[in-house]
């Protein structure tokens, strides 16, 4: 019996240290990383908590949200579909609220709510930067009204979003609900940190993302993709830390419909990540401002002409 206990202790030590090697910090027990990841797990015995989330872990209901009628889309309405992992969801440091209630809305399950942290449709219940992005786009005159459609899943890897992945199927279902009311104008993709930890090769990431693009195109989404360069999380020291951003840059360079949104690897250092991975308050502001500028530049350079034939719901 004593020998078995010793074996279990040794195996536990090896497992903890191996995890430390993977995240690049060489820690015997990587407490901060495990603490940051705790939001991925929902305790089934807490029925109240479980009811807050759908089967994919997305926040589906919460008290204090103000529901408003969903606006009719015009050429001045931005419909932003946001997909990716935790840094595109509710895992940032600061809870934020829109300065434009009634003009910056959060769409989920056919209903609209005043945008503010946490957003319905993404995992976790902390802060986010998408509400700030919507405010920036309104302030800069890019759109008069914003409808945010978050569908970000913490910890997700690119394979889950590709064809036959579970999140691909979830996205198809989500798009059916969107298409009944809106035409998506902008797709925001912020993901990659999980694939660094999984040692995903550049070619694999490119292939899987192109599969996701095909799914969206089949669903009638022809909006531009604003691609984040995103791979940093806990300063993972592995060869794969370059493979993912290389894939993201390759996609930007080889697809007219993919635009650089924001390079968070460059503008969000580890000291601006409140737990070593997820965005701190300063980073939330910075990322929102940078992406708003990218969208504004794209829209200015690609303003539709009267002859373009683009039709809007009325």
What mean pLDDT comes out for the span 67-96?
A: 98
The pLDDT confidence band at residue 43, using thresholds 50, 70 and 90, is very low
305 pLDDT more than 90: no
* DSSP annotation of 127: B
What span, in angstroms and rounded, lies between the C-alpha atoms of 8 and 230? 37
Closest among 54, 73, 70 to 62, alpha carbons compared: 54
H or E element in which residue 295 lies: helix 281-301
Q: Are the C-beta atoms of residues 244 and 231 closer than 8 Å to each other?
A: yes
Question: Using CA atoms in the order 127, 161, 269, 263, what is the torsion angle rounded to 10 degrees?
Answer: -110
Alpha helix ranges (H) inside 124-235: 130-139, 158-161, 166-179, 193-197, 202-218
Supply the pLDDT for residue 303.
81
Phi-psi region of 57 (alpha: psi -120 to 50; beta: other; left: phi over 0): left
Taking the alpha carbons of 22, 27, 30, 36 in that order, is the dihedral positive or negative?
negative
What average pLDDT score do residues 169-193 get? 95
Quick check: 308 pLDDT over 50?
A: no
197-219 pLDDT per residue, tens: 899 999 999 999 999 999 999 99
pLDDT of residue 28: 42
**Any idea where the domains of the chain sit in the sequence?**
2-41, 67-302
Chain segment 52-70, per-residue pLDDT in tens: 999 999 999 999 999 999 9
Tell me: domain 67-302, CATH 3.40.50.1110, correct?
yes
> Has residue 6 got a pLDDT over 70?
no
* CB-based contact 121:265 (threshold 8 Å): no
Q: Is the pLDDT of residue 45 over 60?
A: no
Structural contact between residues 189 and 225, judged by C-beta atoms closer than 8 angstroms = yes
Residue 10: is its pLDDT beyond 90?
Answer: no
pLDDT tens by residue, 227-252: 999 999 987 666 667 999 999 999 99
Closest by CA to 312, choosing from 103, 125, 153, 78, is 78
d(CA 158, CA 226): 16
Look at the pTM and tell me if it is higher than 0.85: no
Residue 114 clears pLDDT 50, i.e. is over it: yes
Among 43, 119, 112, 55, smallest CA distance to 83 is for 119
pLDDT higher than threshold 80 for residue 177: yes
* pLDDT bucket at 3, cuts 50 / 70 / 90: low
Q: What order do you get walking across the sheet with 111-114 strand by strand?
A: 67-68, 111-114, 104-108, 145-152, 77-84, 186-190, 225-229, 258-263
């Amino acid at each position: 019996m004593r020998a078995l206990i010793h074996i279990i202790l040794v195996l536990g030590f090896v497992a903890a240290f191996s995890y430390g090697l993977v995240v690049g910090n060489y820690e015997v027990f990587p407490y901060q990383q495990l603490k940051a990841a705790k939001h991925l797990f929902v305790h089934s015995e807490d029925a109240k908590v479980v009811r807050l989330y759908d089967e994919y872990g997305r926040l589906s209901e919460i008290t204090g949200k103000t529901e408003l009628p969903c606006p009719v889309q015009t050429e001045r309405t931005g419909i932003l579909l946001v997909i990716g992992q935790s840094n595109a969801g509710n895992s940032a440091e600061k809870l934020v609220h829109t300065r434009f209630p009634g003009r910056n809305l959060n769409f989920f399950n056919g209903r609209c709510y005043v945008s503010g942290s946490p957003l319905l449709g993404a995992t976790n219940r902390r802060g986010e930067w998408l509400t700030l992005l919507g405010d920036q786009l309104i302030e800069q005159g890019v759109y008069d009204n914003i409808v945010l459609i978050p569908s970000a899943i913490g910890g997700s890897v690119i394979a889950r979003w590709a064809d036959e992945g579970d999140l691909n199927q979830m996205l198809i279902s989500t798009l059916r609900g969107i298409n009944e009311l809106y035409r998506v104008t902008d797709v925001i993709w912020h993901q990659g940190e999980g694939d660094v930890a999984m040692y995903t090769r550049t070619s694999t990431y490119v292939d899987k993302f192109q599969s996701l693009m095909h799914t969206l195109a089949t669903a009638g989404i022809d909006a531009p993709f604003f691609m984040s360069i995103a791979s940093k999380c806990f300063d993972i020291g592995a060869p794969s830390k370059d493979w993912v951003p290389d894939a993201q840059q390759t996609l930007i360079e080889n697809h007219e419909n993919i635009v650089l949104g924001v390079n968070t690897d460059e503008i969000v250092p580890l000291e601006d990540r409140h737990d070593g991975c997820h965005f701190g308050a300063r980073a939330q502001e910075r990322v929102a401002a940078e992406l708003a500028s990218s969208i504004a530049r794209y829209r200015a350079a690609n303003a539709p002409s009267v002859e373009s034939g683009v039709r809007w719901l009325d």
